[in-house]
Chains A and B, each alone.
Chain A
C-alpha cells in the first residue's frame, strides 16, 4: 500500500512537468527502441541462418570424409564403411552424399530440371517435415517410390499450388550435359514416382537452386535410369564398391545430438576425417553472440545518454519542488521516503520509456522488414523476409534494463531530494 501511495505521489510529481517528462521519456523510448531493434535484428538474422540447418535436421549429422592428410590415405569410404558406421550405437542411418545434377522431372508434357538429393527414409523421424514441408509429408517408411519436390520444380511442372502436386505421378530421369552442351536423353523407361511432399527452402535460401531439389530416398536414387554416359550417381555407385576408391563424402545421422561428439570421435578413430554442422554452428553462434553484445553495448550507450536526460529532469524537479520537499519532511516524510519517491519517478520514466521503446522497436522492425522484402522481391526473392526476432526474454530484459538504467540515473537526484534541509526549503521562495 505504501509503495502504491509513493508511486501515485511520484506520478503526481511527473504530471506537473508534462512536456519535460515526455521529452525525457522519449529519450528512453528511442534508446530502448534502438536497443530492441538492433538485438532483434541480430537474433533474427541468426535464426534465419540457423533455420535451414534445423529444418534439414543437419544438426544431427556427421560429415565423414576419407582422411588423406599428408598424402597418406586412410581407409576407403565405401559401402562396407557405411555399414560399419550404421552398426555404431546411436547412429540412425549413414548414406553417401549424393547431389546429382542434371536430373529431369516430367509431368505430362511439362518438365523441370532439378538437383537430385538422396535422403534416408528415416529422416521422417527428425524434424525435417515440420519446418519446410509446405504440402504433403516426408517419406513414409514403406518401399513405395516417392519423391519430394521443391516449389520451383512443381511450378515448372504446371502445378498452381503445392497441394495440387501431392499424389501426382511424375517421371524422373537423368540427363547429363555433354561437354559440348548437347543434351542426351535418358532411356525409354524413366523412374515413376509419386509426389508425397513439396518443400520450400527458408527465406534466405530463396531464389537459389535450393528450391529446385528433387529429394529421393537413397535406394531410389540408385534406380534413376542413367544416360549412355555415366551419371554422377553411377560414378558414385562405382566408388562405393570395394573395388572403387570410395565415396568422397558420407553423412552419418545420429539419433541424439548429445552423442554427436562421441560418435564423431569413434568414426575418427576408424581413420576418417569427420566434421559436424553443430560444431560449425557453434562457431557461428559465438560470432552472433559477439555481434549481439556489440549491438547491446551500442544500445546501452544510447540508453546511458538518455539517462542523462533523466538526471537533468529530476534535478530540475528537486529544485522546483524544493519547498514541497521541505514541507513533506516537516509533516513526517523521512529522507528515505523522499529518496524512494524520486527513485520511483525515475523508474516510472524508465518503465514508460521502455514500454514505448519496445513498441517503437517492433514498429521499426515491421517497416524495415517491409522495405527489405520489397527490395528482395526486386531481386527475385519471393516470400516475405522475417529478419527480426523478438523473443519474450529480449522484451523483458530490455524493459528491465530501461527501468534499471533510469533508476540508477535517479539515484543522484533522489539523494539530493533526501538531503534537502527542511528549514532552508521552507524559507526559500
Chain B
C-alpha cells in the first residue's frame, strides 16, 4: 500500500507551533574516536514563514549541522526541531525522506550536479524521486531552469557550464518542486565576487517571488546582510543572542 506523502507528514505532526521553524534546546554532538565534538548546543530558534535567515559563523561553528537538522538529514541528540508543524526528531527515517522530498530544497556550495546528465536532466532528477513523470516533469524542469535564466543552456552538461551557471542549475533543482523551505549551504563559497552577487541576488528573487522560507549559511556577512531579513550568528555551536533583523 502506498501512503500519500502528505498524509504521512500530517501523521507526524503531533503538535502545532506558531513559527514555521522552531527549535527548542537543539543539541548535536558527534563522537570522533574517544573525543566528543559538540556541533550544536541548546539552540532555540523561531523563524516565521517566508523569512530569509542568514546564519553566519566561522568554520566549525555548527552552521552546516543546523542546516542538516533543519533539512531532516540529521537528527538531534537533544531538543526538538519543528518545521511546518512537523517534529523532525520524532520522524522515522522514511518520514524524513518524504519531508525532504516535499518540503525542502537544498543548495550546496559544491553544486553536486551529476556530470553525466544535462542541466535539464539534473533539475528533473529531483522530480524522479518526487514521483513526477512524463510531460509534467519536463514542463516543471523547463520552467525551473528558465527561472534561473539558463533556458538556452538546458541541454549542456555541467562540465560545459561555468561555476555560476552550475550553481544556477543547482538552484533550479532545489526549487523545481516548489519547496516551502530552501536551505542554502554556502551557495557562493566557490564563486567569484561578481558571480556570487548574481547567485545571491537570484536566491533573493526566488525568496520574494515564491514566498519561500530561506535559511542560508554563509561566512560572508556583507553579502548575507544584503539579502537576508535576519542574520544569526553561531559560535561554538551556540546561537549568539541579539540576532539582527532588518
Q: Residues of A with Cβ closer than 8 Å to B?
A: 1-2, 4-6, 9, 12, 15-16, 323-324, 326-335, 337, 422-423, 426
Contacts and interface: CB of A to CB of B under 8 A. Distances in A.
B116 A16 contact: yes
A422 B98 CA distance: 15
Interface stretch (B13-21, B106-114, B191-199): B106-114
Given A423-B68, A423-B73, A331 B126 contact: yes
Contacts of A1: 133-134
A42 B172 CA distance: 60
A9 B125 CA distance: 9
Contacts of B77: none
B62 interface: no
Chain B: number of interface residues, binned into ranges = 20 to 34
Nearest to A6: B128
23 contacts: A1-B134, A2-B128, A2-B133, A5-B128, A5-B133, A12-B117, A323-B112, A324-B112, A327-B112, A327-B114, A329-B73, A330-B73, A330-B100, A331-B101, A331-B106, A331-B129, A331-B173, A332-B97, A333-B97, A333-B129, A334-B97, A335-B97, A426-B112
Contacts of B131: 2
A6 B133 CA distance: 11
Nearest to B173: A331
A337 B71 CA distance: 19
B117 A328 contact: no
Contacts of A422: 73
B114 A324 contact: yes
Contacts, number: 66
Contacts of B129: 328, 331-334, 337
A173 B129 CA distance: 87
B46 interface: no
Given A423-B73, A426-B108, A332 B101 contact: yes
B112 A332 contact: no
A6 B108 CA distance: 24
Contacts of B108: 327, 426
Contacts of B105: 331
Given A5-B133, A12-B117, A330 B106 contact: yes
Most B-side CB within 10 Å, residue of A15, A329, A331: A331
Given A12-B117, A15-B116, A423-B74, A331 B125 contact: yes
Interface of B: 68, 71, 73-74, 93-94, 97-98, 100-102, 105-106, 108, 112, 114-117, 125-126, 128-131, 133-134, 173-174, 177
Contacts of A12: 114, 116-117
Given A15-B116, A327-B112, A332 B133 contact: no
Contacts of B73: 329-330, 422-423
A324 B131 CA distance: 19
A332 B126 contact: yes
B100 A331 contact: yes
Nearest to B102: A332
A324 B105 CA distance: 16
A326 B117 CA distance: 16
B182 to A, nearest CB: 12
The 3 A-B pairs of least Cβ separation, nearest first, read: A332-B101, A332-B129, A1-B133
A330 B133 CA distance: 19
Contacts of B97: 329, 332-335
Contacts of B102: 332
A233 to B, nearest CB: 81
Nearest to B99: A332
A420 to B, nearest CB: 12
A6 to B, nearest CB: 8
Contacts of A426: 108, 112
Contacts of B116: 12, 15-16
A300 B67 CA distance: 50
Most central of B93, B94, B97, B126 by chain A CB within 10 Å = B97
Given A12-B117, A423-B74, A328 B94 contact: no
Contacts of A328: 125, 129
Question: Residue among A2, A16, A323, A327 with the most chain B CB within 10 A?
Answer: A327
B99 to A, nearest CB: 9
A45 to B, nearest CB: 48
A1 B124 CA distance: 14
A316 to B, nearest CB: 16
A332 B100 contact: yes
A9 B128 CA distance: 9
Contacts of A329: 73, 97, 100
B68 A332 contact: no
A195 B100 CA distance: 86
A5 to B, nearest CB: 5
A5 B130 CA distance: 12
Contacts of B98: 332
Contacts of A335: 93-94, 97
A328 B122 CA distance: 11
A329 B71 CA distance: 11
A334 B93 CA distance: 9
Contacts of B71: 330
A14 to B, nearest CB: 10
Contacts of A4: 133
Nearest to B117: A12
Nearest to B72: A330
A326 B100 CA distance: 13
A326 B115 CA distance: 15
A101 to B, nearest CB: 77
Contacts of B101: 331-332
A422 B101 CA distance: 14
Given A324-B114, A426-B108, A332 B130 contact: yes
B173 to A, nearest CB: 7
